[in-house]
Amino acid sequence: MNKFDLIYFFKALSENEQLSFICRLAHLLTVSARATYLHDSDGVSDPQILRWLNEAQHYLLGQACNLAEGNSQRYSDEVFCEGLVLRAEHPMYGKIFTKALNQVVVQMNG
């Protein structure tokens, strides 16, 4: 999904649906983060991926809080979607984000 398709899709959602979209995406990314956990240990196999996913969570959940609270100072839909696309295009971790993003789009269309 390119930037323009994502913006068109996201803007067509109601605010409640946008909130659901963001929460679903954040939830799927927690599953990806769990993949970095070492079995039978408190350690992680790839702290860089875990950190990157945490920063993505921060971006998503910040927007979700602002949306839920009706904060007019939140990112515009266009700017927010551009941030999603930037994460999806990340050379090392973009595939993880893109997979989760596509899953959410399918869920929301289903």
Write the secondary structure of 46-85 as one string of H (helix), E (strand) and C (coil): CHHHHHHHHHHHHHHHHHHHHHHCCCCCCCCHHHHHHHHH
pLDDT on residue 2: 80
Residue-range definition of the domain harbouring residue 67: 3-109
Mean pLDDT of the chain: 94
pLDDT(1) > 80:
no
Number of domains making up the chain: 1
Segment 26-40, tens digit of pLDDT: 999 999 999 999 999
